[in-house]
Amino acid sequence: MPSRLNKLMVEELAEKFRQVDTCIFVDFTGLTGRKAADLRHQLQATCGQAAAFTMVKASLAKRAFAQIEGMAALADDGLLDELTTGPTGIAYGSEDPVQAARTLPEWSKKERVLRFKGGLLAGRPLAAEAVAELAKIPPKHILMARVVGTIAAPLTSLLRVAQGPIRKLLGLADALAEQNARKETESD
């Protein structure tokens, strides 16, 4: 029978996870308290103050997700068993899941302690490889710049094409004006 403390922790975790649609599960074997605090700080710096990293007992995480509407099926199917086996850390709360997926391996390069287990994106399970691929997507501002560039490129070309006849007409008008000016100076 779960203790009263465990019940409270499950309720608190369920409330936290209910408010997010993306969670990234990592194996944190070898992560010290100081390194965990550094990781939390890094997540908040790159992903916003709402981003968090929680190290949680697997059984409590499973119970918390089972209480969330739409996630209970994942718990029943055993998909959460794979994500929560062994020491499990969960990064969540980022508005940009790509940034969170990018921050974890970047931070882990210097510490060499995190390993992706998988994740949940909009309530759907992701394999560890899919989370790693998610981390390779360029940042949001770069993607937006690419979209704007893609939209602007044809407009710029259209503008150049439209300016061509106008330039020729202006060049012709200038040439006629010069020719008339020469004729006037010759006739004087």
- Condensed to tens digits (0 to 9), the pLDDT of residues 105-160 reads 888 877 777 888 888 887 788 888 888 888 888 877 888 888 888 887 777 777 77
Write down the pLDDT at residue 187: 73
Q: Do 168 and 96 share a structural domain?
A: no
User: Do residues 113 and 57 make contact, with C-beta atoms less than 8 angstroms apart?
Assistant: no
Q: Do 129 and 162 share a structural domain?
A: no
Q: Do 144 and 114 share a structural domain?
A: no
What beta strand segments (E) does the chain contain?
22-27, 52-56, 88-92, 115-121, 124-127
Write down the pLDDT at residue 38: 87
User: Do residues 21 and 70 make contact, with C-beta atoms less than 8 angstroms apart?
Assistant: no
Write down the pLDDT at residue 2: 66
Domain that holds residue 181: 139-188
Of 99, 115, 137, the position where a domain reaches its end is 137
Q: Do 182 and 126 share a structural domain?
A: no
**Low-confidence spans in the chain with pLDDT less than 50:** 1
Write down the pLDDT at residue 76: 65
Within 8 A by CB and 6+ apart from 31, the residues are: 39, 55, 87, 89, 111, 113, 114
Write down the pLDDT at residue 1: 44
Write down the pLDDT at residue 188: 63
Q: Do 114 and 75 share a structural domain?
A: yes
Q: Do 61 and 154 share a structural domain?
A: no
Collapse the DSSP code of 25 into the 3-class scheme (helix H, G, I; strand E, B; otherwise coil) and give the result. Answer: strand
Question: What is the count of structural domains for the chain?
Answer: 2
Tell me, yes or no, if the pTM score tops 0.95: no
